[in-house]
Amino acid sequence: MDNRLLACAEFVRENSKVVDVGTDHAYLACFLAKKDDIKSVIACDVNEKPLQMAKKTVIDNNLQDRVKLVLSNGLEKIEENEADDIIIAGMGGELILSIILACKFSKNSDKHFIVQPMTQAPLLRKELYKNGFEIIKEKAVYENKHHYTVMLCRYCGEEKQITEEFSIVGLLGDDTLQSSKEYCLFQINKLKKIVAGLQKTNNKQEEIQKYNDIISNLEKQVK
Ligand SMILES: C[S@@+](CC[C@H](N)C(=O)[O-])C[C@H]1O[C@@H](n2cnc3c(N)ncnc32)[C@H](O)[C@@H]1O
């Protein structure tokens, strides 16, 4: 279990029925299944091979009666009454979004989605809000020289357009934790690199101005 997966586990509620979508080795599923305050764990994956690796981890940990393994594209094979907290970690933001939107019961606001995008976090934040979801909590994690975010989301029914700034840093922009600040500073530096690239090209003044405004707003927010 690395810090990225531990951060996902932190957002799981007590007495919850957990579904780990895209479980791969099932490390997180097994970690959660060992806890007394978790009601049930389903580990699912769309591919046979990872599910075989998951099976091995489950057997090695003697958790056959605690972890149910399911071959499923997203949450297709999962029933609403089997899932309270749904973890979708280690995938691209677009794939995570498509899994949430395809889920038949995602608009039940009692369901919590714990998502950890490897890419396209801004797109994921924008689209979640556009589709009536909200981020309740967010945690930054630095691991193996990468900055990650873990978001806890649920459906709230209010479709919103969020600002560019919020799409880039989410709730971490207002957080005082050092790890959140470092995540935001990393995003600001990424934007500065984009601006430096644009400055080498002609006729990009408008785009440069747009990025510089975002950078300056983020810098004011993250002190
Ligand atoms: C990089 S692994 C991430 C494993 C683990 N969740 C983690 O964060 O360390 C991505 C896993 O997602 C699975 N996956 C990809 N698309 C999926 C989908 N539509 N439904 C379920 N699983 C999917 C892949 O087969 C793979 O095992």
The ranges assigned to domains in the chain are 3-161, 163-223
Cα-to-centroid distance, 22 and ligand 1 (Å): 3
Longest CA–CA span in the chain (Å) reads 63
| Mutate-to-test residue for ligand 1 from 20, 91, 143, highest number of ligand atoms within 8 A of CB | 91
Alpha carbon distance 33, 51 (integer Å): 16
pLDDT by position in tens, the chain (length 223)? 899 999 999 999 999 999 999 999 999 999 999 999 999 999 999 999 999 999 999 999 999 999 999 999 999 999 999 999 999 999 999 999 999 999 999 999 999 999 999 999 999 999 999 999 999 999 999 999 999 999 999 999 999 999 999 999 999 999 999 999 999 999 999 999 999 999 998 888 999 999 999 999 999 998 7
11-45 per-residue burial string, b: 16 or more CB within 10 A, e: under 16: bbeeebbbbbbbbbebbbbbbbbeeeebebbbbbb
Task: Check residue 31 and give its pLDDT.
Answer: 98
Residue nearest to atom 4 of ligand 1 (CA): 24
Residue owning tokens 């009666």 = 65
Cα-to-centroid distance, 21 and ligand 1 (Å): 7
Cα-to-centroid distance, 50 and ligand 1 (Å): 8
Task: Check residue 182 and give its pLDDT.
Answer: 95
User: Residue 32: CB partners within 8 Å, gap ≥ 6?
Assistant: 9, 12, 18, 20, 38, 41
Residue owning tokens 């600040």 = 181
| Mutate-to-test residue for ligand 1 from 1, 2, 47, highest number of ligand atoms within 8 A of CB | 47
Cα-to-centroid distance, 14 and ligand 1 (Å): 24
Residue owning tokens 């880039």 = 168
Alpha carbon distance 47, 80 (integer Å): 22
Residue nearest to atom 7 of ligand 1 (CA): 90
Alpha carbon distance 64, 28 (integer Å): 15
Cα-to-centroid distance, 55 and ligand 1 (Å): 15
3-state secondary structure 103-137: CCCCCCCCCEEEEEEEECHHHHHHHHHHCCEEEEE
Domain 3-161 fold:
Rossmann fold (3.40.50)
Q: Which atom of ligand 1 is nearest to the CA of 23?
A: 6
Give CA angle at 189 (123, 182), nearest 5°: 85
Give CA angle at 112 (12, 132), nearest 5°: 155
Alpha carbon distance 219, 103 (integer Å): 37
